[in-house]
């Protein structure tokens, strides 16, 4: 599959005592974000697609993970704010055709804007390029047991510090590793709310041969390419993100 920075496709609905956003295709969760300072009894339903056909039509919504990995990934940020959720398999109709999907339902008894935006952005990583392919590395690293003691949030920071020069700041990180211990540090050290939904623009993106490669799913599915990236991740873990590691990262793209 060849991913592109086109047609952001977040499919969701949201309902509470004060909010009613009907299910539809949006670029992001901005409509919900604008309505929330503090909300109670909020239910958000998100459709995560599994259709290669739609990727070919430039829908930026595709999840590589299975249901078990999705559950583990979402569970890992429940410490941000208590919530319940469920993931079910199903289909979603687009242009009169049914496409395989997961429906993720989140329920918050109460939540403020910043933790809600963090959690929604975290779920967004499951299906939006380039974060959806980075999920493949996170799952592999977890299964190999190479980052014990690192939360998924911090491990994702390592993976994104490797890739950040190529997709801007459309992320919960400021382009580098952002470790934290509690919610207070979260509020102090993560990106401002407005930067979380900034749309990445790069006019000449597809003219760079290296960048073309990282938009191809084979780059991420290849064991050989993964092992090169893993060397960089392990060096970031040991030494931090240095100028030398920038060079090594660039070498893995050749």
Mean pLDDT by 10 residues, the chain (254 residues): 74 94 90 89 96 80 94 94 96 89 97 91 90 92 90 85 56 47 50 38 43 80 91 81 55 54
How much is the pLDDT for 119? Answer: 93
Residue 3 lies inside a defined structural domain of this protein: no
- Look at residue 37 and tell me if it is in a domain: yes
Assigned domain for 241 exists: yes
78, 52 Cβ separation under 8 angstroms: no
Long-range contacts of 159-164 (CB under 8 A, 24+ apart): 159/134, 159/233, 160/131, 160/134, 161/236, 161/241, 162/229, 162/232, 162/233, 162/236, 162/249, 163/130, 163/134, 163/214
pLDDT of residue 236: 80
Among 175, 184, 173, 52, which Cα is nearest to 118's?
173
The answer to whether residue 64 sits within a structural domain is yes
pLDDT computed for residue 159 by the predictor? 85
pTM of the full structure = 0.80
Domain count, the chain: 1
Domain for residue 2, yes or no? no
pLDDT of residue 143: 92
Q: Supply the pLDDT for residue 103.
A: 97
Res 30: pLDDT: 86
pLDDT at 13: 96
- Whether residue 5 lies inside any domain: the answer is no
Domain-embedded: residue 15: yes
Range of the domain at 153: 10-252
Is 1 inside any structural domain? Answer: no
The predicted pLDDT at position 172 comes to 62
């Amino acid at each position: 599959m060849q991913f592109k920075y086109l047609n952001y496709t977040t499919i969701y609905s949201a309902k509470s005592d004060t909010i009613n956003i009907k299910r539809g295709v949006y670029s992001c969760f901005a409509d919900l974000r604008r309505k929330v300072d503090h909300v109670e009894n909020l239910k958000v339903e998100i459709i995560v697609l599994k259709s290669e056909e739609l990727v070919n039509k430039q829908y930026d919504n595709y999840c590589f993970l299975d249901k078990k990995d999705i559950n583990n990934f979402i569970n890992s940020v429940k410490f941000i704010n208590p919530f319940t959720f469920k993931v079910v398999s199903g289909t979603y109709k687009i242009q009169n055709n049914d496409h395989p999907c997961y429906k993720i339902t989140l329920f918050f008894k109460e939540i403020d804007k910043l933790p809600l935006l963090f959690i929604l952005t975290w779920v967004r990583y499951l299906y939006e390029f380039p974060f959806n392919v980075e999920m493949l590395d996170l799952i592999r690293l977890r299964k190999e047991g190479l980052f014990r003691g690192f939360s998924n949030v911090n491990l994702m920071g390592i993976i994104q510090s490797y890739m950040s020069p190529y997709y801007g700041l459309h992320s919960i990180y400021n382009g580098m590793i952002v470790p934290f211990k509690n919610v207070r540090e979260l509020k102090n050290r993560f990106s401002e709310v407005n930067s979380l939904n900034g749309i990445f623009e790069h006019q000449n993106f597809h003219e760079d041969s290296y960048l073309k490669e990282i938009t191809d799913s084979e780059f991420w599915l290849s064991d050989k390419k993964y092992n090169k990236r893993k060397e960089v991740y392990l060096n970031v873990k040991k030494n931090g993100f240095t100028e030398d590691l920038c060079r090594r990262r660039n070498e893995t793209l050749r």
